[in-house]
Amino acid sequence: MIYLISFILSIASVLFLLNISFKDTVLTFLSKMKTKSKPIKKTIRQHKGKNNKHSLSDIEYELRDFLKRTGKEALFDFVLVLSIGLSLFSVPLSLILNNIFLLPFFSILLFSLPYVALLLWKNSYEKKEYSELETAMSLVTSSLVRNQDIVDAFRENIEFIRSPVKSKFEDFVLRISSIDPDVKSAIRELKKQFPYKVFAEWCTELEMANDDRSKTDMLPRTVSKMTDERIVNLEIAPLLSNARKEFFTMAIMVLLNFPLLKILNDNWFKVLTDTWPGKLVTGLVLLSILISTFFCFKLTKRITSYKGGSQ
């Protein structure tokens, strides 16, 4: 514990004496890194639509976009600084446990904790948002097929739509009624409010229906895609849940080997904790479990069609 306190006080003292803001320093450093030009290979892959949808930069983009849609864009910088600050504690924790090979494990674990919390919030929010968006699209589509008027179709269903979708649809109606009567421009703006591929397709068909009322027949088929997606998610939910349970059962069994080894043979346990090969094995085992956990959640996510593709 003395190492941890000493480490915190030393870092705080240096920052105080030099009158340096930890947050401003981190953000300045990261902004300079981002000004570097992208490799030509990556630029070409992005133009071809072949960029990796699960890279760290894409996760950052998704989180920033999510926070921007929820009006909490400034929270991302706080999460970033908090992650870096927490990761610094990996050094004293490794020293306290007398195992430097635990440094990668603690670094990744502590750095990812704020991001994991943000991703959990994002997934919960978007799950509700996607469900409400499906309902709203269905209501508007039914009214539009009936009365052939886009603005009236939105206006007469506003009271039946719930948050977080309601405010976006209210802004759409308000814009056309009081600010700019250009329906196609308002639809394009509405398309930007949600990151889902099916919704973007639905908005495109709304633009076409604005010019040609016969195109409204395309809208119900598009809405049904979201319904089909929801049904598929319901069907595979038990399978994904069972896969996660099996993974965590195996991970717990691996971790239980450490106390079990101490009970069965204390000399073997000391080899694992007091010698550098044993410390290396411990670090690799914990790091493997941590990385495997990330992949487990990545591979068992629900299906959602984003504009960039299905995730």
**Which range has the worst mean pLDDT, 22-36, 77-91, 124-138, 191-205?**
22-36
Question: What's the mean pLDDT when you consider all of the chain?
Answer: 80
pLDDT (average), residues 106-110: 90
Amino acid in the structure at residue 130: Y
- Please give the full DSSP string across 177-237, using - where no structure is assigned: III---HHHHHHHHHTT--BHHHHHHHHHHHHHHH-GGGGGGHHHHHHHHHHHHHHHHHHH
Tell me: pLDDT of 53 over 70. no
Tell me: pLDDT of 246 over 90. yes
CA atoms within 13 A on the CB side of 120: 7
pLDDT (average), residues 120-144: 89
pLDDT (average), residues 91-106: 87
Q: pLDDT tens digit string along 188-235?
A: 888 888 888 888 899 988 888 888 777 788 888 888 888 888 888 888
In the prediction, which pLDDT does 48 show?
46
Tell me: pLDDT of 39 over 60. no
What is the percent of the chain where pLDDT is above 90? Answer: 9
In the prediction, which pLDDT does 49 show?
44
Q: pLDDT tens digit string along 170-183?
A: 888 888 888 878 88
Banded model confidence at residue 17, pLDDT cuts 50, 70, 90: very low
pLDDT (average), residues 23-29: 54
Banded model confidence at residue 80, pLDDT cuts 50, 70, 90: confident
The answer to whether 160 touches 140, Cβ cutoff 8 Å, is no
pLDDT (average), residues 44-70: 65
In the prediction, which pLDDT does 218 show?
84
The answer to whether 225 touches 198, Cβ cutoff 8 Å, is yes
DSSP label at residue 99: -
pLDDT (average), residues 85-101: 86
Domain boundaries, the chain: 2-123, 128-225, 238-299
In the prediction, which pLDDT does 98 show?
87
Model-level pTM greater than 0.85?
no
In the prediction, which pLDDT does 285 show?
92
Per the model's pLDDT, the better-predicted residue between 25 and 271 turns out to be 271
Tell me: pLDDT of 6 over 60. no
In the chain, where does DSSP find H-type helix?
A: 2-17, 22-34, 40-47, 56-69, 75-87, 90-96, 103-147, 150-155, 166-174, 183-191, 197-211, 219-264, 266-274, 276-299
The answer to whether 223 touches 202, Cβ cutoff 8 Å, is yes
Burial of 196 (0-12, 13-18, 19+ CB in 10 A): buried
